[in-house]
Homo-oligomer: A and B are copies of this chain.
Amino acid sequence: MSETAGFVGLGQMGQAMARNLLKAGFRLRVYNRTAERAEPLARLGAARAAQPGETVPPGGIVFTMLTNDQAVGDVAQGEHGLLNALGEGGVHVSMSTIAPDTARWLARRHEERGQHYVAAPVFGKPDAAAAAKLWIATSGPADAKERARPFLEAMGQGIYDFGDDPGAAHVVKLTGNFLFGAAIEAMAEAYTLAQKNGISRQKVHDLFTDTLFACPAYKGYGRLIAAQRYEPVGAPPSLIRKDFRLVRELADRSETPMPLADLIHQRLTATVAKGRDDRDWAGFAQEASDDAGL
């Protein structure tokens, strides 16, 4: 019988991912800072832990899906944190969107204790998480990735590996979020241009996403942008603005000018500054409409 794994972080994404692990027959011990979010999983058979470190025995494997670098640092450190709990040979599979340098720093802390850090951030909205249709990028030590694989396969539809560097998969994740943002900005400007020239946003959307842009990123976000209804909320603007802060820091550190990334960050910042954080982050498309006087 399979080992019991830990799972820390039961937000919209983590909740769905943990559920798929349970469905696949894995036994889980789960933790969330706001404890009531663990209840639905408990009803499906998950054990509940009072501390992050109690989700995993020495030598065990634990998955984290948290909001930001700070939250990952918090569950790793401290008396009841993962670093203390994992013992020798334990594996921390880190699926959050965090800075590559944070990942590298944390990987070193784990290695100092004979533990392993596997980067495994995911692509996909909450509905993809629920359907076990995430795409997963991985990096880190080969043995640890091998141990994580059956779990990851239960949460996603494909795994792409980027080698040993524990920061690498996080770089890839940030790159992907940048690409999504670029697609949103592109459609925002394109559909606004059409609208201001008397052409239906929806018809333009249909043409392009039936044909040359027939892919999930354009279809998914574009539907919201065409209709100018930014629901349901996959992730709010403020959350992804955090990701673009990481993109910008990464670009800065690696000396890579990214004017389009900066534009998207400006748009997200305007969205938040205008108090429009109650919608999906694709709602930053409204900035292009605002600027056009619509």
Contact = CB atoms under 8 A, between A and B. Distances in A.
A172 B204 CA distance: 7
A292 B266 CA distance: 9
A257 B245 contact: no
A-side interface size class? 35 or more
A199 interface: yes
A285 to B, nearest CB: 12
A291 B262 contact: no
A150 to B, nearest CB: 21
13 contacts: A160-B206, A172-B207, A174-B193, A182-B182, A193-B250, A193-B251, A196-B256, A212-B217, A213-B217, A215-B215, A255-B269, A260-B260, A262-B266
Interface of A: 100, 123, 135, 137, 158, 160, 162, 165, 167-168, 171-172, 174-176, 178-180, 182-183, 185-187, 189-190, 192-194, 196-199, 203-204, 206-208, 210-218, 245, 247-248, 250-252, 254-263, 265-267, 269-270, 272-275, 287-288, 290-293
Instruction: In the A-B complex, list the 4 residue pairs whose CB atoms are closest, starting with the nearest.
Output: A273-B293, A182-B186, A215-B215, A262-B262
